[in-house]
Amino acid sequence: MTQNTKGRQNTSEKKVKKGNLGYFQSEKKRKLIITAILFAVPLFIFFTSWIYFKTRMTIWTVVTVVGCLPACKSLVGLIMILKCRPMDRKLYEQIREHQGELDMAYEMYMTFYEKSAYIDALAVCGNTVAAYSSDPKIHASYMEENCQKVVRKNGYKATVKIFTDLRPFLERLDSMNAHKDTLEEGIKFTPDEKYPELSRNELIRQTILALCL
């Protein structure tokens, strides 16, 4: 298993990968720096040309406006990630005690066209995906249904269940660990040509992470 899959994250790294504890905090810093640079470059061009030509009516003003488009897009991404709260460390440690040999992901904000929700953790084993959300506003059935549709559309006949109570989720993790061999038994799997090093569980995990900020 990879470090990402096993959840043994090093939060001191400059960039934390999606699905790992500390991702939101790392991503906020990264996007803030990128956005600042993207705005700084066209604005520098604008003010420099204004001072040099003593007028704003130059081609460089157009260049500035066009150059600000990527910066504005980056700003939208920054605003969205700033709204995401980091996962509580105590909750993470509590779930980690029940993780066992499961492929896990933590600290996610899952988005669809109509609804979005914070997902604290999810586990993948065979055709079973179990997730936990502490988001009081989550529409669990909607998120389950749409997440499951995407997973199955990608060729994995998995069932997605999102728990809003921690205890049943932890019990499900224990059950998945106890019956791991049975849950994975008989499932045919052909490695993905693009990601030959990833197992089926890891590919399902990555498919779900693609739905998250």
Cβ neighbours of residue 28 closer than 8 Å, sequence gap 6 or more: 78, 81, 82
Q: What is the chain's mean pLDDT, rounded?
A: 90
φ, ψ for residue 21, nearest 5 deg: -60, 135
189 vs 37: which has the higher pLDDT: 37
Find the helix packing angle between 140-153 and 200-209, rounded to 10°: 120
The pLDDT tens digits for 23-61 are: 998 889 999 999 999 999 999 999 999 998 888 888 989
pLDDT at 81: 85
pLDDT at 193: 85
pLDDT at 14: 60
CA-to-CA distance for 76 and 203, rounded, in angstroms? 28
Q: Does pLDDT of 4 surpass 90? A: no
207 contacts 156 by C-beta, under 8 angstroms: yes
Q: Does pLDDT of 2 surpass 80? A: no
The pLDDT tens digits for 138-166 are: 999 999 999 999 999 999 999 999 999 99
